[in-house]
Structure formats: C-alpha cells, structure tokens
Amino acid sequence: MGTTATIQIGDKTIDCPVIVGTENEVGIDIQVLRDKTGAVTFDPGYGNTGACESAVTFLDGEQGILRYRGYPIEQLAGPASFLEVSWLLLKGELPNAAELAAFDAAEKAHRELPDYAVAVIKALPKNVHPMAALASVLVALTTSEDSPKAVEAGLAKNELTLLAQLPTLAAYIYRHSQGLDFVGPDAGLSYAANYLNMMFKGTKLATTDEAIAKALDLLFILHADHEQNCSTSTVRLVGSAQAGLSASLAAGVTALWGPLHGGANQAVIEMLDEVVAHQNGDVGWAVAQAKDKNSNFRLMGFGHRVYKNFDPRAKLIKVQADLVLGKLGKDDKQLALAKGLEQAALQDEYFIQRKLYPNVDFYSGIIYRALGFPPEMFTVLFAIGRLPGWMSHWNEHNAGKARIGRPRQIYTGKNARDFVAVDKR
C-alpha cells in the first residue's frame, strides 16, 4: 500500500497522505482537498467516510468481529460484568480487583437521582415515550463537582454519576408511566439486579433471580459500544461544539430512538406481533413482504451498514433468548417465528445477495418482553447499555485537538435571483 493517494481533478493533481490503523484499515487523508482543488467528497450516509481515528472499538463487518479495546466480545460477554466493561471502555484497560471494588462501591453510592430530576419525571405526561422522557431528563442531569468517591473510583463524577443514575432514571420513567410509586436504588444489589428491582418490585413481574439479572447484564455488555454508529457519531458531533456531556448524551438518545437504529428492537417485536396476529405467523408472507419494494414492510432487526456477515452480538443474544425463555418456561411464538424468519431469509437470494443478516436488535426484544418490559422500554435498555460507549467516544473526541464537526455539501438549489415585492409577484 503506498503512503499517498493521488487525486486528479480537472487540471489539479494532489497527493493525499494514506493513514493505516492498527488493524490495517486504510484511510485517505483529504483534509487539504478543498483548499487545493476546490472540490469536496460526496458520501451521503458516510458509508465511505472516516470521521475520526478511535481506539475504543474495532469491528470488521466482513469477518463478524467486534472488540472493545482489543477484547473480543465473545470473551467479555459472560465472564466480565457490565461495570468491568464500562471501566474498560472508559479507561482503556480492564480494572484490577481493587479498582473494580472501588468502582462498584462508588457506582452503588451514586444511584440516587437529584430531587429536581425526580420532580421533572413526575411532571411528565404518563403517555410520553420513554425515550423522549429519557432525553428530556438526561439533558438536565448536569453535575458540578467531583465527589471524593468518584475521584477515588478513578472516574470523573459526571461519568460515574450518569452510569449509576441512568437505570434509576429509566426505572422511574417506567413506574411514572404505570402510575406506580418509585422504588429507590438498593446498594445491596448488582447493577442489573438493582435495575430490575426498581422496575418491577411490588408487581407480578418482580424477580430476584440472579440468572435473569446476569442475562440482562450480558445484554448491556453486548450493547456497550459499536464504534461510529449513528448515535455515537451524534454524541461526538454535539460534543465537538463543546456542549456538555449530558447534552451530548441526550442527543445520542434521540438518535438511537430512530427505528432504523436502536428503535429497531421495538420495531422487531411490533413486526413479529403483526405477523403472528394477522398472518398466523406466516414466515413466507413476511419474507415476501420484506422483498416487495411496493410494501413498506421491512424485516426489522435484519441488515446492517457494516456487518455484511453475521452480527456477532445477534448470535450471542439468540443463545440468551433460548436460555431466558427456557428458564421462564415461556413458549414464545415470536421466538419461534423469529427463528423461522432467520432460516428463511438466510436461504433467500434477496437477502443473500444484499448480505442481510440478523443484527443486534433481532432477538433482544424477545428477551426484554419475556422479562416483562413493554416494547416502548426496549430502546431505553439499549441506551443503558450504550452509555459507556457514548461517554468513551465523547471523552476521546474532546481529549484531542477536536475541531467542531461541520460537513460540507453540494448545493442544488436555485441560482442567485432578486427579491420581488409581494404586490409584484
């Protein structure tokens, strides 16, 4: 591979440096392109554009590889805890026993929401979508100074506090929507067990089953980061304007909400429900609709901008779906339909040719629903998992000499023309 790429446009020729990452990804550094040639690149959706260098996560869509700070997710999902993985993403290394113990204690000590945040939640309409509620309160969760425990835990207070408070915020939003009293955080419970307790204590969905909490913790790990996806790029872009961490994260929450992104886990369940309820679970009907350009039916949870092979997370989540539903003794029609759809699609030329495989959202909603979460809470769960990844990228972007993000465009509107007073139009 040469060290420069030559670009010739009109009578101008420039040599652009070629940068190569630690996994041999190659980028053409075009930072001087417009100054030297007057031209910009054109790449709607940024499928071919590297916005930054990053050391947080590596993924290879062709090989189905996903690593957090170099560790394959297959090795983290299970043996590690979500708090360990959060530390890894934020600090770049796995914590030692003392660091993990201090981090665990500090996280448990910061779970309470400030009174003003509780008041904001209680003032929200009960029927507001939980992602709208999450973004609204998150942007208000600014913190002023580092507490001794936060500094002791080695994380800035706002990172630690937000990591500790997000499950509390999510649970209070849910209980407010159900007209239930809030259940405060319990420092005697693990991260995921505490969240389940705050969500469902006192209801028929209450559980103290550690295996269920462990499954949820593993799902948080699998959602923790995914390099420059839509919501993470949003967090970096908002952060590049030197907007605060909470404000940047709230922007990430709203981007994640989209059904083409994190909102797909809710859309998958709604799609499966539709096929079970109105098409008697007919796999062939669903696959035909997904291929029909005249139907607005998409096989939600299928396809990915980067993975052109299996999404390694989907494989791990599918195993968890069998485990959790087996443990709960649930015979889930949606799970059976999802597996049927996966089998049918993977043998269908339309999906094969377009390299469409199940993604992280395809099976996760089935587990969440089996645990009792309503579909509108699924993307909130995705946000809880993604928080450490968002914060790691926000830190990385602001640690460097980050310029404010400001893409260019190709203007296709009207050429210059003169204003005409309304009585002359």
Question: So which residues are the catalytic ones?
Answer: 304, 361
Phi, psi of 241 (to 5 degrees): -85, 5
226 binds ligand SDX (CB under 6 A): yes
**In whole angstroms, what is the distance from residue 279 CA to residue 273 CA?**
9
Residues in the chain: 425
397 binds ligand SDX (CB under 6 A): no
Residue 33 · residue 17 · CB < 8 Å: no
* Candidate residues 135, 251, 264, 370; the one interacting with ligand SDX per rule CB under 6 A: 264
359 binds ligand SDX (CB under 6 A): yes
**In whole angstroms, what is the distance from residue 258 CA to residue 379 CA?**
9
283 binds ligand SDX (CB under 6 A): no
* Candidate residues 34, 122, 278, 354; the one interacting with ligand SDX per rule CB under 6 A: 354
Quick one: angle between helices 191-200 and 157-177, nearest 10?
30
The per-type count for the chain, helices as H runs and strands as E runs, is 19, 6
236 binds ligand SDX (CB under 6 A): no
* Candidate residues 95, 301, 385, 388; the one interacting with ligand SDX per rule CB under 6 A: 301
Quick one: angle between helices 264-278 and 361-371, nearest 10?
80
Closer to ligand SDX by Cβ: residue 231 or 240: 231
CB of 271 to ligand SDX, least distance (A): 10
Residue 281: HSE in the Cβ half-sphere, 13 Å Cα cutoff: 9
330 binds ligand SDX (CB under 6 A): no
Closer to ligand SDX by Cβ: residue 8 or 294: 294
CB of 389 to ligand SDX, least distance (A): 8
Residue 244: HSE in the Cβ half-sphere, 13 Å Cα cutoff: 13
Return the H-helix or E-strand segment holding 170: helix 157-177
**In whole angstroms, what is the distance from residue 183 CA to residue 2 CA?**
60
Closer to ligand SDX by Cβ: residue 354 or 408: 354
Closer to ligand SDX by Cβ: residue 159 or 361: 361
34 binds ligand SDX (CB under 6 A): no
Residue 79 · residue 221 · CB < 8 Å: no
Number of residues binding to ligand SDX, judged by CB under 6 A? 22
Q: Give the residue from 326, 335, 327 showing the smallest Cα distance to 364.
A: 335
CB of 393 to ligand SDX, least distance (A): 11
* Candidate residues 360, 366, 371, 380; the one interacting with ligand SDX per rule CB under 6 A: 360
CB of 61 to ligand SDX, least distance (A): 9
H-only helix segments in 201-310:
210-222, 230-240, 245-256, 264-278, 283-291
57 binds ligand SDX (CB under 6 A): no
CB of 411 to ligand SDX, least distance (A): 24
89 binds ligand SDX (CB under 6 A): no
What is the radius of gyration, based on Cα positions, of the chain?
23
Decide: residue 276, CB within 10 A, 0-12 exposed, 13-18 middle, 19+ buried: middle
CB of 222 to ligand SDX, least distance (A): 9
CB of 149 to ligand SDX, least distance (A): 31
58 binds ligand SDX (CB under 6 A): no
Burial 295-320 (b: 16+ CB within 10 A, else e): eebebbbbbbebbbeebbbbebbbeb
Q: Which stretch binds ligand SDX (CB under 6 A): 75-83, 144-152, 241-249, 294-302?
A: 294-302
**In whole angstroms, what is the distance from residue 78 CA to residue 373 CA?**
22
* Candidate residues 260, 277, 319, 352; the one interacting with ligand SDX per rule CB under 6 A: 260
356 binds ligand SDX (CB under 6 A): yes
CB of 303 to ligand SDX, least distance (A): 2
The DSSP bridge partners found for residue 14 are 7
290 binds ligand SDX (CB under 6 A): yes
300 binds ligand SDX (CB under 6 A): yes
Strand, helix or coil for residue 342: helix
* Candidate residues 36, 91, 149, 261; the one interacting with ligand SDX per rule CB under 6 A: 261
**In whole angstroms, what is the distance from residue 145 CA to residue 158 CA?**
8
* Candidate residues 149, 214, 298, 339; the one interacting with ligand SDX per rule CB under 6 A: 298
Q: Which residues bind ligand SDX (CB under 6 A)?
A: 45, 226, 229, 260-262, 264, 290, 298-306, 354, 356, 359-361
